Structure 1
Amino acid sequence: MKFIGVIPARYASTRFPAKPLALLHGKPMIQWVVEGARKSNLLREVIVATDHEDIRKAAEAAGAKVAMTASELPTGTDRIYAATKNMDFDVVVNIQGDEPLVTGELIDSLAGLFQKDNSLDMATLAHPISLEELESPNAVKVVVNQKDEALYFSRYAIPYSRVPGAKAAALTGCLKHIGMYAYTKNLLKQFCEAPPAEIEIAESLEQLRALYLGAKIKVLRVKEASLGVDTPDDLAKLEKILRGN
C-alpha cells in the first residue's frame, strides 16, 4: 500500500496572511511541518501544495516536493486533489500546514489504520472533549459508533441538547475532532468531484460531504491535540513554549 502526505499551504489567510512563512523559533512554519512529516515511516513522499513562490522555495529548502496549485481553490482538500490526481498512490494524508509540532508517529498511526482495514475510505483524529470545547462553536464535535466510525460531525453540542454537558456525569458522548485526514485515492476523487452536500453547507464542515456520500470514516482516538496556529497570538504562545523547552 502506497502512502503519500500532502501539506496544503496557501498564502492568503484572513486571520494570518502569509502564515506558512511566519518564523517560529527561527524557521518558517512550513519547514516545521515538512520536517515533522518527513519523520513518518509510512509516507513515500511529502508534497507541499501551494499557490505562492515563496512558500515553494521554503518547502523545497526543507526537503519537500512542491505542487503549484491555483489560488482560487476553495479548500485544502481541493488543493490536495489538484496536486495528486495524476499521481500513483493508495492513500493520501492531509497534513495541516498550521500544526508545526506534527509528528511522524502521529501520521503513521493514522495511515496505519488502512493497513489494518482495507475497506476504509477515510480516517481522522479526535481526543476527549472538555466542557469549554463542547460549548464552543469553534470546536468541532464528532459522535462515533461502537467501532469508532464517525456518525456525525457538528459545531454544536451533540448529543448534549436535552441533557446539557454541564449536567452530564461524563462527557463521553462525543469527541473533539482534530482536522488531520487520510483518504483513499478513490474517495478523494469522488469527494472533490461531488457538489457540497446540504448538511455540509449547514454546518460549514466539509467532512460531512464524505458521510453524505456514504464513506466509512474511522476515528482514531488520541490523548490530546497538537498545538495549531490560527493567529499571530497563537504563534507567539507557541514560541514561548518552545523557548521554555
Structure 2
Amino acid sequence: MKKLLLFVESNTTGTGMIALKKAQERGFSPVFLTSKPERYAGLAETGCRVLVCDTNSLDALRTTIKKELPADQIAGIMTTSEFYLVTVATLAEEYGLPGNPPEAMLVCRNKAQTRLRLAKANVAQPRFAIIRKAKEIPETVKAIGLPCVVKPTDDSGSNDVKLCSGFLLSGKEGTLQKVEGVEEVRSMPGIRNVTISARAGDRVYIPQNAYHRLGYVIASGGTYAQTEYRLKEAVDNIVFTVKEQVEASWR
C-alpha cells in the first residue's frame, strides 16, 4: 500500500494541484483536505482522494484524519497555502512526522513577530513599527518616514499591502497664510490619512530637507497605479496659500 501524503488546502494559482500530481509521481497517495473542493480548478483531474471538513478547525481536522486514515500509513502532512502553515506544523508534530516547529511557524506567519525576532537577533532590516490603532499613524510616520509600505501582519499574496507616500511641499518661500481642501481630500476614496504639520503664520521654504515638508498624505488602492493616482489627486487638491495661492507638489 502506498504511503499517504496529506495536503491541507492549497493556494489557488494552480501550483497546489501540480503538487498533488508530483506526490503521485513520487509514489505517494495524496489526500486533499478542504472545506470547499469547488474552489480548486483541476482538483478532480488529479484523481486524489478528497476529504471535506472544516479546515479552519484543528479539532475538525484531527477528527477527520483519525476517522478516515490509518495513522501508520501517513508519511507527511503539508500545505501549499500560507494560511495553514501553523495548522500543518501542529498536526505533523502530533503525528511525529517531519515538519517545522509550530512556534516557528507562528512567528513566521506574523510579520510583526518576525520583525521583532529579527531585531532581537540584531539582523539588519528596514525601519519598522507595529501599529494597532489608527491614532498611532501620525507619530509612526514621523518616526519611520515616507515613503513606506504598510501591510497586515498575517495576510498573504500581497493582500492589502499599501504603498504610502505623498509629501506636501511648498512651491515657494514665504509665510503660510492658509491651507484649503484638507477635509475634502480626507473624504476621497482610498485616502487613509492626511496630516498637515505646518500652521498659518509659519515660515515655509522651497524644500531642501525633510523639515521643509508641510505634511503628508497616505493613500491605498487595489493596484500600485490606482494608489499612485489617488495620491496625486489628493495632493493636487490641497492648496497652500503662501502670500499667493500655491498648489502643493508631490514626490
TM-score bracket relative to the smaller structure: 0.3 to 0.5
- Relative to the length of structure 1, the TM-score reads 0.33
Q: Which has the larger radius of gyration?
A: 2
Query: Which structure carries more relative contact order (alpha carbon 8 Å, separation 6+)?
Result: 1
TM normalised by structure 2 equals 0.33
